[in-house]
Structure 1
Amino acid sequence: MDVLKEQDVQKYWEEGYLVLEGLLTPAECDALRQRMSEIIERMDVPEHCRIQFSTDHDEQLKTQGNADYFITSGDKIRFFFEKGVFDEKGDFVVPRERSLNKVGHALHAHEPLYKAITHSPKVQSIAKKLDLINPVILQSMYIFKQPDIGGEVTPHQDATFLYTEPLGRVMGVWIALEDATLDNGCLWFIPGSHKSGITRRMVRTPKGTFPLTDFVGREQNYDEKLFIPAPVKKGGAVLIHGEVVHRSAENTSASSRHVYTFHIMESHNTCWSPENWLQPTEQLPFPCLYT
């Protein structure tokens, strides 16, 4: 099963991303969405953990409880909310299914439907075509991009948060469970930007200190004219090199933009940084993609 053609492989390595149509069927997309609805229905989140997710300045990490909730989420299923969905008492001001920014970071380990998609023959075929010898799953997320309130994701590189030595060993697989359009917040990329390294890293701070994470270095300023949109139809996917610069705009439309995404690392001859916020645990070592 060759999902990628040779020209696709070449395009991915040259531009740092690749749009693939039809990775999942509409029925598979609908099943993943339905299962997430069931997860949300029984969602029970402690008051102090009703945190708002931001890639801009990690507002969610400003209190000890919130920081703990985030940094220990790598082997669990936890909930991260959009801005403005709670009142001053911590009560929802929107329906709970419209409140979430994302759910992460171990759907691939604890939810059979998500696990099956993550380890599917199609995804394994992609990794093999890219000559990955021993790819492992780092994390997974369900991203909602809620209508009218779906927040902006500012320009960034995934390697800022998922750092390896050498660089270039991480790839995101971003699967559209609904059409991702110019109106509802599709991804935008700077083609070729994965060839210039990174200038910022998110690292764990020394044990016993607060905050639990900090940034080393600074994000560059990017010319808006360099960004190219990557809309994709329901069931399509975008492969994202760990160093390519990408962003998405706010969703001010009436349509949501649900996505299931996960990150793969080539573990062969690769050092996963012990300073990364995300670490394998005894309960959940990074599972091999090929099993």
Structure 2
Amino acid sequence: MSLQSFFQKYTGFLRSLKAVYVVNNLLQSDRLRHNRSLYRKYGLQKSIFSPVGSGDFKTHHPDIPWIDRPDALEKLEQNAEFQALGPVLQEKVRGFLKDGYMILEGFFPEADTDALNGEVAAQLEAGKAQYNYTGRKIFNFFGHSRLADERFFRNPELLRLLSFLLGKKVIPFQSLNFTLGSEQRAHSDSIHMTTEPPGYLIATWIALEDCTPENGALFYYPGSHRLPYLTTTDYPSGNTRWTIGNNSNRRYEDKIEEVIAETGLQKQPFLGKRGDVLIWHANLLHGGSPITRPGATRRSMVCHYYAEDVICYHEMSQRPALLPPTHPV
């Protein structure tokens, strides 16, 4: 068993020790070697196995995603690839620039979502797939299912659209499958999966059954992607040179609540239908509503992607991101 597999279930003191993650990095060096050239490119002078965080980058590289630039909408209308998308998808892309998300209604047929739900249930029953320590998340189910991998995680049509939005080819990074809603407080993915330059992360949220107010529907804050990126220096994370703060995530979510109150952002529920896909910006604030009907399921699959030729790391836990084993380096 790898340390990474061990930590899927473990919740004790060792999770706070940065040295433990360094050992895991050394044991999985093949999944980090791509960072050697990237560290040189972005002037990061440290071992690829060491902890890494936003504090290691004194200034950000100016090559931010085109969607985050002031002239994004103007450039968009002149883009030949955009013109080839068709009017419906063009309008969704414009909305993505403005609000930080887009919805692709009915993208996956019921046959596909039914098949994936069946495979998840079968793998859980057989003990081949497991929830992590949260009791809600199944990490990287694509490694257990060709359907999850090829049809959902690496769907060619989605990959083309995501690559267009980031302006670089995307790398499928990780997936999360849920049976129950997460009930997670508002957060931005950028605190968990950070990139240098900032903003080169994007996510898809796939509804594997209908979302309702009772089964813990996803929510998001339109326009919140334009807020400054928060890092562990913006709240009392408790991090030290050797350890990760025990309550860092809770304190981060407390800080996000303060930001929402200060900015007056308005929460929007996502009452999606089975087969719908929600695509969101790296910095869009989102979370999971409370489950008000006990036992109500909200099956879903969340996939994260980051762009080629950028550094990806986990700001909260100060870890370099490990490429999935199936990704060809």
User: How high is the TM-score relative to the length of structure 2?
Assistant: 0.61
CA displacement 1:109-139 (0-9 Å, x = unmatched): 4421111121122212322442542211121
> Contact 2:193 / 2:314 at 8 angstroms: preserved in 1?
no
- What does 1:255-274 correspond to in 2, within 5 Å? 255-268=296-309, 270-273=310-313
Match of 2:103 among 13, 16, 19: 19
1:187 paired with 2:271, answer no
> Contact 1:18 / 1:239 at 8 angstroms: preserved in 2?
yes
Q: Can you give the 5+ residue segments of structure 1 that lack an aligned partner in the other structure? A: 45-76, 83-99
> Contact 2:218 / 2:287 at 8 angstroms: preserved in 1?
yes
Q: Aligned pair in 2 of structure 1 residues 272, 214: CA closer, same or farther (>3 Å)?
A: same
1:112 paired with 2:158, answer no
Percent identity of equivalent pairs:
22
Q: Aligned pair in 2 of structure 1 residues 22, 274: CA closer, same or farther (>3 Å)?
A: closer
Q: Secondary structure at the match of 1:153?
A: coil
Shift, 1:23, TM fit:
1.3
Q: Aligned pair in 2 of structure 1 residues 261, 151: CA closer, same or farther (>3 Å)?
A: closer
Q: Distance in 1 between matches of 2:167 and 2:238?
A: 28
CA displacement 1:169-215 (0-9 Å, x = unmatched): 11110000000122222222211111112224499967864668946
CA displacement 1:47-96 (0-9 Å, x = unmatched): xxxxxxxxxxxxxxxxxxxxxxxxxxxxxx642366xxxxxxxxxxxxxx
Match of 1:174 among 197, 205, 210: 205
- What does 1:125-204 correspond to in 2, within 5 Å? 125-130=160-165, 132-145=167-180, 150=181, 152-201=183-232
Q: Secondary structure at the match of 2:132?
A: strand
Give the alignment's Cα RMSD to 1 decimal.
Answer: 3.3
Q: Distance in 2 between matches of 1:108 and 1:207?
A: 35
1:232 paired with 2:267, answer no
> Contact 2:313 / 2:321 at 8 angstroms: preserved in 1?
no
Shift, 1:12, TM fit:
0.9
> Contact 1:9 / 1:129 at 8 angstroms: preserved in 2?
no
Q: Secondary structure at the match of 1:5?
A: helix
> Letter of the aligned partner of 2:296 in structure 1?
S
Q: Secondary structure at the match of 2:212?
A: coil
1:79 paired with 2:148, answer no
Shift, 1:16, TM fit:
0.8
Higher helix share: 2
Q: Aligned pair in 2 of structure 1 residues 212, 267: CA closer, same or farther (>3 Å)?
A: farther
> Letter of the aligned partner of 1:31 in structure 2?
A
User: Partner of 1:67 in structure 2?
Assistant: none
Q: Aligned pair in 2 of structure 1 residues 13, 286: CA closer, same or farther (>3 Å)?
A: farther
Q: Secondary structure at the match of 1:11?
A: helix
Equivalent pairs, count: 233
1:219 paired with 2:256, answer yes
Q: Distance in 1 between matches of 2:316 and 2:201?
A: 13
Match of 1:32 among 110, 116, 119: 116
Q: Aligned pair in 2 of structure 1 residues 134, 212: CA closer, same or farther (>3 Å)?
A: farther
Shift, 1:11, TM fit:
0.7
Q: Aligned pair in 2 of structure 1 residues 2, 28: CA closer, same or farther (>3 Å)?
A: farther
Q: Distance in 1 between matches of 2:299 and 2:275?
A: 11
Higher strand share: 1
> Contact 2:179 / 2:298 at 8 angstroms: preserved in 1?
yes
Q: Can you give the 5+ residue segments of structure 2 that lack an aligned partner in the other structure? A: 1-83
Q: Distance in 2 between matches of 1:276 and 1:5?
A: 35
